């Protein structure tokens, strides 16, 4: 599903101001995570499942994308933010075309959202906005992204200001106004990336 009505994602956590973290440890292995909606911008065959992983930064499970699609995404239902932060631990496992892990915010539907991503094949961090199903680059920055290793990717956003950090180090800080207002948050990959995600954290801003 690439088109959703944003109102269907509204939940009680959107305006609490508390940081919420999803570990996937209580979710059934081999199935999509309950309370999440997934798809891909541009079609294809994404596959989002909860899997056991002894290397998980949390306890035992991760969310893994193992399908192939232009831009797979998976967003948390009931998590709507205008301003705030979204952060995830990710591990790029394999991929010939890409080995990417990303976070999305102000997600309106599968064709309109912001995304920050890190890529282990290219060793860089980048920021995009997707509008009308087309991804547009805002900035690329070289950064070390080791494959088969856990990293922390974080986006902070308030008004038009966006800041992107990898492993605690800021790499991108820009102003952009293409995607405004309330939207969902989630995770993202690209092409044939097989990527694991854990400890997904989001927090509404003031």
- pLDDT per position as a tens digit, 112-131: 999 999 999 999 999 999 99
Least confident segment among 10-14, 106-110, 149-153, 177-181: 10-14
pLDDT at 4: 41
CA 12 to each of CA 9, 25, 79: distance values in angstroms, whole numbers, following the listed order: 10, 22, 8
Q: What is the mean pLDDT of the chain?
A: 92
| Residue 49: both structure tokens together | 């499942």
Using CB atoms within 10 Å of the CB of residue 119, give its burial: 0 to 12 exposed, 13 to 18 middle, 19+ buried.
buried
pLDDT at residue 58 is higher than 90: no
- Residue range 18-204 in CATH 2.60.120.560: yes
Least Cα distance to 85 among 63, 115, 105 occurs for 105
**Cα gap 78→20, rounded to integer Å:** 11
**Cα gap 32→65, rounded to integer Å:** 10
pLDDT at residue 25 is higher than 80: yes
Cβ distance 80 to 192 under 8 Å? no
What are the phi and psi torsion angles at 37 (to 5°)?
A: -120, 135
More confident residue, 7 or 19: 19
Cβ distance 171 to 165 under 8 Å? yes
**Cα gap 137→113, rounded to integer Å:** 12
Cβ distance 62 to 101 under 8 Å? no
CA 104 to each of CA 54, 72, 80, 97, 201: distance values in angstroms, whole numbers, following the listed order: 26, 11, 12, 21, 12
Q: What is the pTM of this model?
A: 0.91
């Amino acid at each position: 599903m690439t088109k959703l009505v944003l109102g269907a994602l509204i939940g009680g956590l959107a305006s609490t101001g508390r940081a919420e973290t999803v570990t996937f440890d209580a979710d059934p292995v081999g199935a999509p995570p309950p309370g999440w909606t997934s798809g891909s911008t541009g079609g294809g065959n994404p596959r989002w499942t909860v899997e056991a992983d002894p290397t998980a930064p949390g306890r035992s499970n991760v969310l893994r994308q193992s399908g192939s699609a232009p831009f797979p995404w998976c967003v948390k239902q009931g998590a709507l933010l205008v301003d705030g932060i979204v952060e995830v631990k990710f591990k790029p496992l394999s991929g010939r075309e890409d080995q990417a892990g990303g976070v999305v915010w102000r997600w309106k539907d599968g064709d309109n959202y912001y995304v920050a991503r890190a890529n282990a094949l290219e060793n860089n961090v980048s920021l995009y906005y997707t509008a009308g199903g087309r991804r547009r680059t805002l900035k690329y920055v070289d950064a070390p992204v080791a494959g088969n290793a856990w990293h922390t990717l974080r986006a902070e956003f308030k008004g038009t200001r966006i800041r992107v950090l990898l492993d605690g180090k800021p790499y991108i800080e820009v102003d952009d106004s293409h995607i405004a207002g309330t939207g969902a948050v989630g995770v993202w990959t690209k092409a044939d990336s097989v990527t694991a995600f854990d400890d997904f954290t989001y927090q509404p801003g003031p």
